[in-house]
Amino acid sequence: MDQSRQGYKTLAAGIEAVGEFEDRRSRFIAQLAHVESEREAEEFIEKVRARHHDARHNVPAWILSDGRERCSDDGEPSRTAGMPTLDVLRGAGLADVCCVVTRYFGGTLLGPGGLVRAYTAATQAAVADAEDNGNVVEMMLVTPVVCQIPYSAFDRVQHMVAQAGGHVRDTVFAEDVQLTCSFKAGEEEAFVSALTEFANGENLCKVGEPRFGQF
């Protein structure tokens, strides 16, 4: 995944989405969670393995927003389990997520094609569960802007923030008014220019570094 792109989707923190698929009595249970590091991914994988310690396979796949990703077939034939699971996460545009698909063997070999279909279907069902319950969130590249303005300009500047597509996240009333705003990366430039013009050339803004967050 390209960190320079403007956004990605992830699962809401603290949520676990689940999807199931069954084929010839083999049961596949996909468990999907939000993670923000390789350590958190490994912790979730171990949690699922402990939960399903009696299962034949617990197949993990994870993608982070910095571009790192990993998967394992966990004893299934090569590229029949981990890669199909990872491909579903990629195809859904997800990042900072970990999926573990648990397989309880039903006694009948499914063959490579059957395994790919089963792991794909279970993972797709978990992603659909997250989407259907409103647990998929959009992460955008967001730029914070902090402004120090006189009280007399408060209403006007709030309107300018909204006009530029931004949001006021926090307001502190002291000698002046401090507004903490956020803009989609790049859109802050129009606001900063407009406010500088409004202030007769005085720079009233401190622009922060863009970072990924909900907008």
Same domain, 130 and 170: no
> H-helix or E-strand containing 71?
strand 69-71
Last residue of some domain: 85, 114, 134?
Answer: 134
Last residue of some domain: 134, 157, 175?
Answer: 134
Residue 191, CA distances (Å) to 151, 186, 202 in order: 18, 10, 14
Same domain, 167 and 109: no
Please give the pLDDT value at position 202. 92
Cα–Cα distance measured from residue 82 to residue 69, given in angstroms and rounded to the nearest whole number: 11
Same domain, 58 and 152: no
What's the gap between Cα 117 and its chain centre? 25
Same domain, 187 and 117: no
Residue 119: Cβ-neighbour burial (10 angstroms; 0-12, 13-18, 19+): buried
Cα–Cα distance measured from residue 177 to residue 198, given in angstroms and rounded to the nearest whole number: 16
Please indicate, yes or no, if residue 202 is contained in any of the structural domains.
yes
Q: Could you give the 3-state DSSP secondary structure of residue 117?
A: helix
**pLDDT 10s digit of each residue in the chain, 215 long?**
344 456 899 999 999 999 999 999 999 999 999 999 999 999 999 999 999 999 999 999 999 998 999 999 999 999 999 999 999 999 999 999 999 999 999 988 999 999 999 999 999 999 999 999 999 998 988 999 999 999 999 999 999 999 999 999 999 999 999 999 999 988 999 999 999 999 999 999 999 999 888 77
pTM over 0.85: no
Annotate 68-89 with b (16+ C-beta within 10 A) or e (fewer). Answer: eeebbbbebeeebbbbbbbbbb
Domain that residue 168 falls in? 140-214
Same domain, 129 and 144: no
Same domain, 53 and 149: no
* CATH number (domain holding residue 169): 3.30.70.120
Same domain, 71 and 98: yes
Same domain, 78 and 40: yes
CB atoms within 10 A of CB 35: 22
Please indicate, yes or no, if residue 2 is contained in any of the structural domains.
no
User: Are the C-beta atoms of 38 and 64 separated by less than 8 Å?
Assistant: yes
Please indicate, yes or no, if residue 97 is contained in any of the structural domains.
yes
Residue 145, CA distances (Å) to 178, 179, 182, 187 in order: 10, 8, 6, 11
Same domain, 32 and 93: yes
Same domain, 162 and 102: no
Same domain, 120 and 210: no
Number of structural domains the chain divides into = 2
* CATH number (domain holding residue 49): 3.30.230.30
